[in-house]
Structure 1
Amino acid sequence: MKIQVVKDYTTNFEGDVYTIDLSRKFEGFETGDLICYACPFSPAMPLQLELAIRADGSLIFRSWRFVDGEGNHYLHTRELSEADCKGIQTPFIPTEAQTDTVNGLFSGRIKFEGLKLAVGSTLQRICPIDLQREEKLIGEKIYLA
């Protein structure tokens, strides 16, 4: 089954229509995947996208699923940063490529299949944003709210 989202002032994707394939297959798991999720069309549609950022920085589709409530518009992870770890939990150590991908998602330099994803705080704790570098790469000032 497919759903089409028509562009309006709340959506941020390339083109006028974004097509979501609810029957799309999971693209696999590799050790070192940084698993992330967001509801990019929230609050209008509580549909959560789950993806992985591979060790090489590539983005891999995992799933679309409906969630209860609005869902979070920002891209988050359940992985823990070193600052979040207590006791015997092991922190997630990102590769440089994963950090670059998170930075690119933050600035809009990188999109997931035409969809711009806003990077949330849990992901930023694991992969800190280098704002000055991103501004140089995209050639414009990034304004923070």
Structure 2
Amino acid sequence: EYDVITVTLEVAGHTFVLKENVTTVLGFKSIRQGESITEMQQPFSEGDEVKISKTNIREHETTPPEYFNEGSLLKAMENPQNFIQLKDKKYAQTLKQTGGIGTVATRADIIDKLFNMNAIESRDGKIKVTSKGKQILELAP
């Protein structure tokens, strides 16, 4: 078991987020010799000021997620909460409890309707949103 400590720093107009897992119970790892929780870290309190002693700048590029194909889109419709980031976990839980978007019987039909409306298109086996699809998304609540 572990606790997740999240620290958000505001520095010169930039926001930095640090997340760290702190082990609270070793579980099966306690069987290993020499394994113990040696140091319990004290979480920061909101509003605490911290001194930054060292910074390191790393440059890297992120890679976009892969495009869906029809099979992966069907799977995503079953568990959409795994593919979107929601600030309110309640919404993700609701998506999970409702069994996703559509039903097993209607998901393929929903995709077909999106193709027929020209909201999505398939290029090289990759499903992409068309300009019409983007307009529909902008109108959606």
TM-score normalised by the chain length of structure 1: 0.19
Q: Which has the larger radius of gyration?
A: 2
Higher share in helix = 2
Higher relative CO (Cα under 8 Å, sequence separation at least 6) belongs to 1
TM-score normalised by the chain length of structure 2: 0.19
